[in-house]
Amino acid sequence: MNSTAKPLLLVALGGNALIRAGEEGTIEQQFANLQRPVRQLARLARDHRLILTHGNGPQVGNLLLQQESCHEVPHLPLEILVAQTQGQLGYMIESSLDAAFAAAGLDDPPPLVSLISYVVVDPDDPAFQEPTKPIGPFYPRRPTEDFPVVKTPRGWRRVVASPEPRTVVEKREIRLLVEQGFVVICCGGGGIPVVREVRGFQGVDAVIDKDLAGACLALEVGVEIFLIATDVPGVALDFGGARQRFLRRLGASEARAHLAAGQFAPGSMGPKVEACLRFLQGGGKRALICAVEDIEAALRGEAGTEIIRD
């Protein structure tokens, strides 16, 4: 198949998907967990052009804790920690995928590139006054430290500001790289949050939701299929309760109604559903949410949740 005729698929890998429940999150564990998605992505590269984005919630939160426990060197602002996780996870994904291409026997594997990416946000976004984005580890009890937290089904978690993504600064470069046949790893952790200052950019203390940033990027570069791979099988109603039920297909208007009713938690499934709705509303063809191990099956319609236009 001619490379330009292949559908353009954007896969957003969740940061939590790289650290499984009960794990410490060591680099060895994260590399091992990466094998689940990259083997599938290597096979999908035969018939798709690929853009990969990734979350960084556990990783950036861990970096924040590490620097807060050390007072001998200057502390770094949050946007710099986001940039560090882009490099860290970009390297891990790229090297793992390169090995997966070889294992899959691809005679002419596509070239890979990891791109440090900025995402523009509004300095007056109300999210700066109300942190909602969970990062770092899960705590079994409410932490006593002086930072905002939220209770999740897996425990208490620190939250930081998460402003809306407005545009991806490197969208032109990403589009050109895809056209040249590259698999592009970009917008890691939702991208480095920046605001415009005259002709330049200034970083801000926040973490952008990677799913919303992924939807923004997908529409700006002409993605046809948007897939969010996470640590649960798909979209569920009454998640975590006795009446929990996962959905294979979900109409856009129904999804919007469930979102408004609070069925999908902010900072968790809520942004994933919202990202899919924005992608479809903007002209995208297919939007899916699935477990990391079910990427191929979800694309075949055999797993996960597909959100469809009404």
In the residue annotation, 285 being an active-site residue is answered as no
The answer to whether the CB of 307 falls within 8 A of the CB of 287 is yes
The Cα 35–Cα 89 span in angstroms is 14
Q: What are the beta bridge partners of residue 249?
A: 306
In the residue annotation, 33 being an active-site residue is answered as no
Instruction: Give 187's pLDDT tier (boundaries 50, 70, 90).
Output: very high
Q: Which one from 16, 33, 56, 62 is the annotated catalytic residue? A: 16
Domain extents for the chain?
A: 3-308
Greater confidence (165 vs 62) lies with 165
The Cα 12–Cα 66 span in angstroms is 26
With 0-12 CB in 10 A as exposed, 13-18 as middle and 19+ as buried, what is 196?
Answer: middle
The answer to whether the CB of 94 falls within 8 A of the CB of 86 is no
Q: Which one from 25, 56, 270, 272 is the annotated catalytic residue? A: 272
Is the pLDDT at 144 greater than 80? The verdict is no
Q: Which of the following CATH numbers is that of domain 3-308: 3.10.180.10, 3.40.1160.10, 3.40.50.720, 3.40.50.2000?
A: 3.40.1160.10
Pick the most confident of 53-67, 153-167, 212-226. 212-226
Q: Which one from 62, 136, 190, 210 is the annotated catalytic residue? A: 210
In the residue annotation, 16 being an active-site residue is answered as yes
In the predicted model, what is the mean pLDDT of residues 49-59? Answer: 93
Cα-to-chain-centroid distance, residue 220: 16
In the predicted model, what is the mean pLDDT of residues 36-45? Answer: 96
In the residue annotation, 171 being an active-site residue is answered as no
In the residue annotation, 267 being an active-site residue is answered as no
The Cα 288–Cα 305 span in angstroms is 6
